[in-house]
Amino acid sequence: MSKNNAVAVKAHVLGFPRIGAQRELKFAVEKFWRGEITEAELTQVGQTLRRQHWAWQAEAGLDFVTVGDFAWYDQILNTAALLGAIPARFGFDAQQLSLPQYFELARGNPTQFAMEMTKYFDTNYHYLVPELSSQTRFDGGVEWLFDEVADAILHGHAVKVALPGPLTFLWLSKCKQDGYNKLDLLPSIVAAYTRIFNKLTALGVEQIQIDEPILALQLPAEWVAAFEPTYGTLGRQGLQVLLTTYFDSVLEHAGLLASLPVAGVHIDAVRAPEQLSQFAALWPANKALSVGVIDGRNIWATDLVKTLAVLKPIHAQLGSALWIAPSCSLLHVPVDLAQETQLDTELKSWLAFAKQKLQELGALKRGLNGGDITSALTSNADAQHARRISKRIHNPSVAARLGALTHQGKVDQRAAPFVARQAAQRQRFNLPLLPTTTIGSFPQTKEIRAARAAFKKGEISAAQYQAAMQAEIALVVKKQDELGIDVPVHGEAERNDMVEYFGEQLAGFAFTQLGWVQSYGSRCVKPPILFGDVSRPSPMTVAWSSYAQSLTTKPMKGMLTGPVTILQWSFVRDDQPRSVTCDQIALAIRDEVCDLENAGIGIIQIDEPAFREGLPLKQSDWADYLNWAGRAFRISASGVANDTQIHTHMCYSEFNDILPAIAAMDADVITIETSRSDMELLEAFAGKTVSETAGEAFIYPNEIGPGVYDIHSPRVPQVNEMVRLIAKALEVVPAERLWINPDCGLKTRAWPETEAALANMLAAAQLARAAL
């Protein structure tokens, strides 16, 4: 290794997953909530995990271990607790905040609802939204961070502390006071950061990483302007400040970033590789440029040869000012690939989870610093080559089918426009006005889950499993018939998860045993790995739907997950555009839609709850996304006759800004979530609120089922509440286009409240029809 410090590259991570390779943190936190372990036992688990993660970073040869990425529930909540900026309504003393109180902020208590939770940028991670007001003080709070720092130092580590930046923290916060500008809080929050910096300095810390991912958004000018005074202060406190950006290009701010008085800046060269050479060209000699070259959002092994080739000229130019890192925190990938015993060695050689990414980073650092990494390069190059040409990935018939699509212009268009289809469907189904339906799932009882687990373990036969699921379907259909639901569903008993169920049956997907990623708090998800060309070897839902249809004279609604949602909720290929992968999934779903139609299923719902969250961070990129995502949905939906009715479902109704694109999906019926907004969000569909982007009123043309009751709570809605909501909906949607349904699926509910709520919904529909 090079002894010359003038050229030695530094390596670090922006953050490491905290849940533990075996989800130790999840289980400990949940035990603590249930009172099964003490606070001391819980803090012990946290400490063990942190020490493990630091040890891995040190062993991989990184220059610092990152401290501050740990959180009992969420890192934004931790920052609020550190600053002392917790919601006043809980009545807690911020400086004495206890761990149980911290969890009450996150989860609510009998008198206070929980802090709101929302998605962190375009990830599937959810953070808790700080609640600020003009009265909020940032007088300091919990001391956890300082204890963690002291512990890392005690273990002999070189420490880099990582914290969300003050501007990003403010941006992610909500401030309910009308007319109050959050930015007015900036001086007091910067003062609080200054005090934290001073405490860290006193502990012996020299390096601090401050995350400002909002720089990757298209920020209002006053927010951009706030960076200079903020970092003018924070950059001059004596700590070496590394200002980190990620998730997209920050090229528009390159001049600003080069001039701020900080020690260094991190850019994401995975999401936005094109910004690298331009940053390098203008980068000042006295400032570190940390380049994120390992994908922190995906599970693919890094192409080391290619990455070294990119980095070498930049290293030649910047010398020791070059730092290397993953693109963003590794929070968004699973912990350790080595635990996966069911994945075959070839597939594994293409993958890298967080721990493997540390090793990649160590190898890149050694390689740049003149060390011999031949053997790492050789095995990596072999795996990369094998992946490029693998028959498991590249299926010529999928490619041929996709290629042919470009020549058939109509593949994403229904045969007739909506009005003609609507007439054909009315004739075929003869539904009453204000038809009633549900969103798909019925209660997933303990018995259902036990049967599925037993089947997966081989404890019951396929025939026994099928019989158990059919019994459940029969029950669900009977209950819906008794209730008088116009368009029943089969209840989705056979589905563990709306993406996994399809991924397991499609070619091109693989599943891990322990590939968990934190979603929020103690909740983790295990996204499928979409590694190859997608095709559908055989029908996936037809048998269940046909069975359900055989039990009733009502039109049974078939139930599928849409291509955009399957894409969004999987780790997907990085060797072709997302739009291509999405088209492949769309063709597979299209085959299923057509098979359902052939089996006599005349109403088919294609769920797209993840459609909106796929929107890129920069609004200027939205049109392109909406274009290919909408087309993929239409490819999946357009293979059917005019009198087959296509539904879609989305678990929200904030469509103001993208309503024309939602309309362009051209589903015959869309069901959405609206009950909690008191139907107010529905107004957008009637052109009552002006679309921000279109700049003019747009009226949604097809049929709509705005949810009339909240399925997130066991509370049974009263008939008159729903009558009122239906009346409100009728003010903006004509009766000929209005459906009546709950907000979302019922899988998390129990039977008693489900039956009671649906009975009331049906009664409300009767009253509303009578009043027409």
Binding site for 5-methyltetrahydropteroyltri-L-glutamate: what residues are annotated?
23-26, 119, 124, 523-524, 569, 613
Q: Which of residues 730-749 bind ligand GLN (CB under 6 A)?
A: 744-745, 747
Q: How many residues bind ligand GLN (CB under 6 A)?
A: 13
Is there a contact between 629 and 650 (Cβ–Cβ < 8 Å)?
A: no
User: Bridge partners of 704?
Assistant: 670, 738
Site for ligand GLN in 39-68 (CB under 6 A): none
User: Among the candidate windows 102-110, 433-441, 468-476, 691-699, which touches ligand GLN by CB under 6 A?
Assistant: 433-441
Round to the nearest angstrom and report the end-to-end CA distance of the chain: 81
Q: Which is nearer to Zn ion, 231 or 569 (CB)?
A: 569
Q: Which of residues 438-457 bind ligand GLN (CB under 6 A)?
A: 439-441
Residue 285: both structure tokens together? 């000699």
* CB count in 10 Å sphere of residue 564: 29
Taking CB under 6 A as the criterion, the residue among 289, 559, 593, 661 binding ligand GLN is 559
Buried b (16+ CB within 10 A) or exposed e, 367-382: bbbeeebeebeeebee
Which entry of ligand GLN, Zn ion, none binds 532, CB below 5 to 8 A by partner kind? none
d(CA 33, CA 747): 24
Binding letters toward ligand GLN, positions 607-626, x by CB under 6 A: x-x-----------------
Q: How far is the CB of 550 from ligand GLN (least distance, A)?
A: 21
**Rounded-to-integer distance, Cα 144 and Cα 148, Å:** 6
Q: Among Zn ion, ligand GLN, none, what does residue 498 contact (CB within 5–8 Å per kind)?
A: ligand GLN
Residue 13 CA to residue 294 CA, distance in Å, equals: 10
Q: 477-498 burial, b if ≥16 CB within 10 A, otherwise e?
A: bebbeebebbbbbbbbbbbeeb
Stretch that binds Zn ion, among 348-356, 601-609, 621-629, 631-639 (CB under 5 A): 601-609
Cβ proximity to Zn ion: between 746 and 764 the closer is 746
Which residue type does 231 have?
Y
- 291's CB contacts (< 8 A; 6+ apart) are 266, 267, 269, 276, 311, 314, 322, 323, 324, 325
- 173 vs 561, beta carbon nearer ligand GLN: 561
- What, of Zn ion, ligand GLN, none, does residue 373 touch, CB below 5 to 8 Å by kind? none
Q: Does 670 bind ligand GLN (CB under 6 A)?
A: no
Residue nearer to ligand GLN on the CB measure, 249 or 754 = 754
Q: Which does 747 bind (CB under 5 to 8 A by kind): Zn ion, ligand GLN, none?
A: ligand GLN
Q: Phi/psi at 254 (nearest 5 deg)?
A: -55, -45
The answer to whether residues 392 and 357 touch, using CB atoms and an 8 Å cutoff, is no
* Beta carbon nearer to ligand GLN, 262 or 498: 498
Residues 631-660 that bind ligand GLN (CB under 6 A): 649, 651
Query: Of 483-542, which residues contact ligand GLN (CB under 6 A)?
Result: 492, 498
Count of positions on this chain that bind Zn ion (CB under 5 A): 3
| Nearer to ligand GLN (CB atom), residue 160 or residue 747 | 747
Torsion angle of C-alpha atoms 554, 559, 562, 565, degrees rounded to 10: 130
Residue 13: contacted member of Zn ion, ligand GLN, none (CB under 5 to 8 Å, by partner type) = none
Helices (H) and strands (E) in the chain, counts: 27, 21
What are the binding residues? 23-26, 119, 124, 439-441, 492, 523-524, 569, 607, 613, 649, 651, 673, 744
Nearer to ligand GLN (CB atom), residue 434 or residue 439: 439
Site string for Zn ion, 605-624 (x = CB under 5 A): ----x---------------
CB of 670 to Zn ion, least distance (A): 11
CA pair distance 158, 145, nearest whole angstrom: 16
If one counts every other C-beta atom within 10 angstroms of the C-beta of residue 342, the result is 9
In angstroms, the CA 192 to CA 84 distance is 9
Residue of 77, 267, 498, 651 interacting with Zn ion (CB under 5 A): 651
DSSP string, 523-548: EEE---EEEEEEE-SS-SSHHHHHHH
Least CB distance to ligand GLN at residue 266 (A):
35
What mask, x for binding Zn ion by CB under 5 A, covers residues 124 to 163?
Answer: ----------------------------------------
* C-beta nearest to ligand GLN: residue: 745
Segment (H or E) for 770:
helix 751-770
3-class DSSP state of 291: strand
- Which residue stretch of 139-147, 176-184, 556-564, 602-610 sits at the interface with Zn ion (rule: CB under 5 A)? 602-610
Alpha-helical runs (H) found in 219-295:
221-225, 227-234, 254-259, 275-282
- Contact in structure between 393 and 387 (CB atoms under 8 Å): yes
Query: Annotated catalytic, 712?
Result: yes
**Site residues for ligand GLN, window 570-609 (CB under 6 A)?**
607, 609
The label of the residue with tokens 């003019």 reads: 696
- Residue 128, classed as helix, strand or coil, is strand
Whole-number minimum distance, CB 408 to ligand GLN, in Å? 30
Q: 492, 441 in Cβ contact below 8 A?
A: yes
Q: Which stretch binds Zn ion (CB under 5 A): 92-100, 454-462, 497-505, 644-652?
A: 644-652
Instruction: Return all residues near 652 (Cβ < 8 A) that are at least 6 apart.
Output: 609, 612, 672, 673
Count of CB atoms situated within 10 Å of the CB of 458: 8
Residue pointed to by tokens 């919601």: 87
Alpha-carbon Rg for the chain in angstroms? 27
CB of 582 to Zn ion, least distance (A): 20
Q: Which does 559 bind (CB under 5 to 8 A by kind): Zn ion, ligand GLN, none?
A: ligand GLN
By beta-carbon proximity to ligand GLN, the closer residue of 353 and 569 is 569
Distance (Å, whole) CA 95 – CA 84: 6
- Binding region for ligand GLN (CB under 6 A) out of 130-138, 228-236, 436-444, 535-543: 436-444
Task: Tell which one of 81, 254, 272, 744 touches Zn ion (CB under 5 A).
Answer: 744
The kind and range of the H/E element at 203 are: helix 186-203
- In the complex with ligand GLN, the residue whose CB is nearer, 207 or 545, is 545
Considering 126, 332, 385, 712, which one is annotated as catalytic? 712
**441 or 642, CB closer to Zn ion?**
441
CA distances from 701 to 626, 685, 736 (A): 18, 9, 11
In sequence order, what DSSP letters do the residues of 690-736 get, joined into one string?
Answer: --TTT-S--B--SEEEEB-S--SSSPPPPHHHHHHHHHHHHHHS-GG
564 touches 582 (CB < 8 A): yes
Segment contacting ligand GLN by CB under 6 A, of 6-14, 403-411, 437-445, 616-624: 437-445
The angle subtended at Cα 450 by Cα 449 and Cα 453, nearest 5°, is 85
- 29 or 662: CB nearest ligand GLN: 662
Write down the least CB distance from residue 186 to ligand GLN, Å. 38
Residues forming the site for Zn ion (CB under 5 A): 609, 651, 744
Catalytic positions, please?
712
Binding region for ligand GLN (CB under 6 A): 439-441, 492, 498, 559, 607, 609, 649, 651, 744-745, 747
